[in-house]
Amino acid sequence: MSQQHINLGAQSDGKDGDTNRQAWEKTEHNFNDLYGGAMSVQAMKNKLINGKLDIWQAGAAATATSVNAIAWGPDRYLGQAYNGSAGTGSSTITLNQQAFATGQDVVPGNPKWFARLQATAVGPQGGTGSMIRALQYIEDVSTLAGGMATFSVWLKADSARNIGFALHQYFGTGGSAAVVAAQTTFAVTTTWQRFTFTFPVPSLAGKTVGNDSNLALSLYLYKQDNSDNTTFAPLGSWATGIYLDFAMMQLEAGSIATDFDARPFAIEELLCKRYCTTSRSLLIGRWSSATSVRFYNDFEVPMRRAPSCSLLLSAFQAEATQVAIYTINGAQLINLLSDNRRSLMDVTGTISGGTPSAGAMAQLNQPQVFLFRAEF
């Protein structure tokens, strides 16, 4: 209902205009409209994290090569090229950052980045389950369960092709068998288009839920078969050169694809850090020997679980506090002790710039040396 205005009249009070009852009726209608609208807007409605692709803590280019190659690109998203259950050799998958032109108005919301999924090499297939896809895990299988949900995304590709969408319910360790909650295909072209899909999400009635349950939302560039109980395969081609671009991805409750939920950057970054984060500068530790050092890292946000750790840099500066600054070359992580709030990392390498003394206080002088992951 449109806003209603009270007629105050042009003469002295009581001579004309709305009666007291009419005025309060209009006030009530206006209030009800405002209240109903406010209640229909859900806080944090997008169940996907980093849907706008603003956050790339591990870097703007992700590449992996393996018989089951998995590359983590923008925070919370992975790209996968899987040769199949009996595949051999290796495939290479990339999930890289691409820039929108400043001021473009095709994809609304002023996004800076989109992501490109591409297999740059494919190995021999074998068995079942071969695929090329992008995926995000959504923590907790109860998310949206028993209600309606709507998925929306902007897509384009190297050429006109069908792209598969699937949402799987995974019930965790010791839980019930996985369920295909929803699936469809999108007819994608070489220009940006918004695609939406509304579906019922199965309830959890009769299910057993274990640890690490999740929803797995996948976009398939290629899918060999339906060994995971989908029905739209075979789809696409097992080939190099083809790619899929995606942006502004959202999964929300309800039967309507609403405008994109653009959360403040600081909030989105904190949500990401539950699953992936990097080390800060000025970490404190101790030199264990002339060639090894131990650092301690406290996480800004408690992580989902005790994380894995890898080195983003193979050479970086570390200090014997107030004594000298050294460079660690050919750095290797040789030990990790961690819970979801703090990690201890032992690093060894070739030291240049002097010889640190065992037991001396150490200080890491560069940010983003270590990468921590607590994904699924």
How much is the average pLDDT of 81-89?
98
Q: Which residues contact 51 (CB under 8 A, 6 or more apart)?
A: 248, 249, 250, 260, 261
Beta bridge partners of 50: none
pLDDT, residue 260, reads 98
**What rounded mean pLDDT belongs to the chain?**
94
How much is the average pLDDT of 351-370?
96
Kindly indicate the confidence band of residue 283, based on its pLDDT and cuts at 50, 70 and 90.
very high
For residue 38, is pLDDT > 50? no
pLDDT, residue 346, reads 99
Kindly indicate the confidence band of residue 218, based on its pLDDT and cuts at 50, 70 and 90.
very high
pLDDT, residue 22, reads 76
For residue 211, is pLDDT > 50? yes
For residue 29, is pLDDT > 80? no
Beta carbons of 364 and 313 less than 8 angstroms apart: no
61-271: CATH topology:
Jelly Rolls (2.60.120)
Kindly indicate the confidence band of residue 25, based on its pLDDT and cuts at 50, 70 and 90.
confident
For residue 39, is pLDDT > 50? no
For residue 2, is pLDDT > 80? no
Kindly indicate the confidence band of residue 179, based on its pLDDT and cuts at 50, 70 and 90.
very high
How much is the average pLDDT of 248-273?
98
Helices and strands of the chain, counted as H and E runs: 2, 21
pLDDT, residue 42, reads 62
Kindly indicate the confidence band of residue 215, based on its pLDDT and cuts at 50, 70 and 90.
very high
pLDDT, residue 11, reads 61
How much is the average pLDDT of 122-135?
98
Domain assignments of the chain as residue spans, ordered by start: 1-41, 61-271, 276-373
For residue 86, is pLDDT > 80? yes
Beta carbons of 292 and 347 less than 8 angstroms apart: yes
How much is the average pLDDT of 345-372?
97
Q: Residues of the chain with pLDDT > 70: what percent?
A: 92
pLDDT, residue 35, reads 57
Q: What is the rounded distance in angstroms from the CA atom of residue 342 to the CA atom of residue 296?
A: 7
For residue 34, is pLDDT > 90? no
pLDDT, residue 26, reads 75
Estimate the share of the chain in helix, then strand, then coil, as percent rounded to the nearest 5: 10, 45, 50
